[in-house]
Structure 1
Amino acid sequence: MAKQRRRKFGGVRKLGSGRWQATYIDPVTAARRPAPYTFETETQANDWLIGAEADMIRGRWVDPDIGREPFGPYADKWIDERPNLRVRTKALYLWLNKRYLQPEFAKVDLVDITPPMVRSWRADLMADKHLSSCKAKCADKAHKGVSATMAAKAYRLLRAILMTATDDELIKRNPCRIVGAGTERPRERPILNIAQVFKLAEQMPRHLRVFVLIATFASLRWGEVTAIQRKDIDLTKRTIRIRQQWIEVVGSGMELHPPKSGAGVRTVSIPELLVPLVQEHLDEFVAPGRDAFVFLGERGAVLRRSNFNKLGWSKAAEAVGAKGLHFHDLRHTGNTFAAQSGASTKDLMARMGQDSMNAAIIYQHATRQADGAIAAAMNDAIEEYRRAHGDEGGEASQAG
């Protein structure tokens, strides 16, 4: 048996493999512990013991067994222990955890997750090599990797979970150290002009035409516009009250919830020239009764974002010169129209349902940078379009 070389603190010995092992007495259990790895030389083993002894003297020594908890159950518990998460945020965390984090880290102890492991995981994520199950299911398909936005979301979640593990003193330092990896840099989204908005609406099925116009000119999110009921609309005052939103929760289906923030509960004015169009829609497509939902599918079901392309959206967008248009770009367009009207930052925040002024300032800045004079108020712009109804509109312009 290899002879133990004793020192004042710990000891070193040469193993049969020719490498050196360092051992020391655990200050808590009094059991002899080996260093987590072996060394090429006796000097390296002694140097490690010197560092371990210094950590104990300074009170920085950490029990090596701390952090010997698999990432999988810790991540699940991390999400469950956050009761104040918005429903949609929690659903996103559960999905990101299951799809992107668990396949790589579920069985890895927290203490064994290293910066190189995180870098490798992110690189594979961007190349879509992270899921063996996905590769098995999609063996015949070319993988292009997840979007930069989704990769940033997954990285931020991993970093947040491991930051809590650091605070819990299960690991010494968060291994997520990739500069900029959690920052989303989405490309600039298209902004439609007035003519394009109306033409887009005309390209949609008749029961969805006013849906497109309201989403744009009231600057509403998908969940907000789909949750409007008769009692929320006051055509005399030309207002729509936003007080709830539909959220599609994985495993539960569609659920009604309050808007994403306190500022989301608001009353939004609509242009006067939309009033007769909204009235026609109410008369033709909406059931009687104050609680009737204003926008539903042809069979009376709640509209789902995941099915919207099947209802003609992609073809309609392409027809107006805006191929690849997202539904959220309608809100983006409406916010830009509002900023061009000369509205103040606070007024924009109220209309957009934002707690932070950052988004409102972005739209104001984009408007200040635009060529030409500030556009007339939104209703005047629509009236001008209506007078020249033959205008087909141009290509979708880019923000900024």
Structure 2
Amino acid sequence: MGQRRTFGSVRKHRSGRWGADYTDPVTGQRVTPGRSFASKVEATRWLSEMQTDLDRGQALDATGTKRTFESYANTWLAGRTDLRPKTLDLYRYLLDAFILPRLGDVPVGKIDPSTIRRWHGRVSEGDQSVVTTAKAYRLLRQILSAAVDDLLLRANPCTLKGVAVERTQERQTPSIAEAMRLVDAVKPEYRLMAMLAAVVGLRRGECFGLRRRHLVEADGVWTVTVESAVVFVRNVPHLQPPKTSAGIRRLVVPAVVTPTIVDHLDSFGPFGDDDLLIVDRRTGQTPTLTVWRRVWENARKSVGVDYTFHDLRHLAGTLNATAGASIRESMARMGHSSPRAALRYQHLVDLRDAEVASSIDRLFD
């Protein structure tokens, strides 16, 4: 028989265990803990905790906690109007491929650390990269953090240690000779792009975002201004500002790039001030990602190397460090917002310095 209390009620079940419930003062709906208790004391303690939460304004949303994760995640993503198209597309992919198939039907209020451990264990068994798994976990943690803010959870259950960190294998940096061979091998309309990546350190999207007015010559010295970048969303290019303010920069271009600049302007001009410099000559537009990948694959196959276009940028970072640029100067040239990446290039130079020292030692053998 139920035992009435000032707040809520407790009752003993035929099994000998105890139940409890109360009426939400806002919604008028009956709220239960979703489990039974071994004793009346435990049931009463739960009611006391719920009453305290209500008094403090910290009570969970009684109806929202029963909402499926899929429903909540989709609503959360639809509300993220601050996301760039490429990020939005990535989040949609991660949700559909790795998160919703296993957690979509689970009520938000029932997701706990053990649920997350089981989910991560199963996802980790897939053939996707460790980096992709880390991205999926970070997205899940971000969504559940919002669920905490919305009073659907008391605490974020994503408590796994170290799994959100992307540990990418350090790639080899092309030598100057290899980079110049790639520049010569790529289609002529993209050679300036390759030189700007290998020597100046521009990203692929930054190269595609360059307009004629961004290249300026004064007294024989060229400068390039970066103020936009192209990102590819489902193969289609989109022009947008750099991710951070550090990406917006004006750089002096080393003289070794000058012949390539002049040749590009002479061969593919004339250009209006607002015309894009790097385009697919067949369409006059930025190439799709599929077209660009084919261009780059053909170039590296002809040279016999396996470098990505981004690896050319690593060479530029190493050249900065070799030339004696400080961490702050290297950050400015590469468009980094933190010293971490710039320190990586300094590390590569330090490794080379150790090789030089070792070679000197061998001369004394």
* TM-score over 0.5 for the pair: yes
Q: Decide whether the 8 Å contact of 1:67 with 1:109 is kept in 2.
A: yes
Q: Quick one: structure 1 residues 34 and 247, their matched pair in 2 at CA, closer, same or farther if it must change by over 3 Å?
A: closer
Q: Distance in 2 between matches of 1:84 and 1:356?
A: 22
Q: Quick one: structure 1 residues 30 and 13, their matched pair in 2 at CA, closer, same or farther if it must change by over 3 Å?
A: farther
How far did residue 25 of structure 1 move? 3.9
Give the residue type in structure 2 aligned to 1:326: T
Matched, 1:270 2:253: yes
How far did residue 48 of structure 1 move? 3.5
The residue aligned with 2:75 is 77
- 1:276-314 residue CA offsets vs partner (Å, 9 max, x unmatched): 122112222345322332212241331334433322x33
Aligned length: 345
Any idea what SS the aligned residue of 1:188 has?
Answer: coil
How far did residue 186 of structure 1 move? 0.6
Any idea what SS the aligned residue of 2:232 has?
Answer: strand
Give the residue type in structure 1 aligned to 2:353: D
Q: How does 1:254-269 map to 2 (within 5 A)?
A: 254-269=237-252
How far did residue 367 of structure 1 move? 2.5
Q: How does 1:1-400 map to 2 (within 5 A)?
A: 4=1, 6=3, 10-14=10-14, 20-26=17-23, 28=25, 35-38=33-36, 44-46=38-40, 48-56=42-50, 58-59=52-53, 62=60, 64-128=62-126, 145-235=127-217, 236-250=220-234, 253-299=236-282, 300-311=284-295, 313-314=296-297, 316-317=299-300, 320=303, 322-323=305-306, 325-371=307-353
Q: Distance in 1 between matches of 2:252 and 2:333?
A: 9
RMSD: 2.9
Any idea what SS the aligned residue of 1:238 has?
Answer: strand
Unaligned runs of 5+ in 2: 357-365
How far did residue 68 of structure 1 move? 1.9
Q: Decide whether the 8 Å contact of 1:229 with 1:291 is kept in 2.
A: yes
**Identity fraction in percent:** 30
How far did residue 151 of structure 1 move? 1.0
How far did residue 256 of structure 1 move? 1.7
Any idea what SS the aligned residue of 1:294 has?
Answer: coil
Q: Distance in 1 between matches of 2:178 and 2:61?
A: 65
- Larger helix proportion, structure 1 or 2? 2
Deviates more, 1:158-167 or 1:61-70: 61-70
Give the residue type in structure 1 aligned to 2:13: R
Q: Quick one: structure 1 residues 218 and 78, their matched pair in 2 at CA, closer, same or farther if it must change by over 3 Å?
A: same
Q: Distance in 1 between matches of 2:151 and 2:29?
A: 22
Q: Distance in 1 between matches of 2:76 and 2:323?
A: 45
Q: Quick one: structure 1 residues 25 and 347, their matched pair in 2 at CA, closer, same or farther if it must change by over 3 Å?
A: closer
Unaligned runs of 5+ in 1: 129-144, 375-400
How far did residue 195 of structure 1 move? 0.4
TM-score normalised by L of structure 2? 0.83
Any idea what SS the aligned residue of 2:183 has?
Answer: helix
Q: Distance in 2 between matches of 1:332 and 1:227?
A: 20
Q: Decide whether the 8 Å contact of 2:174 with 2:315 is kept in 1.
A: yes
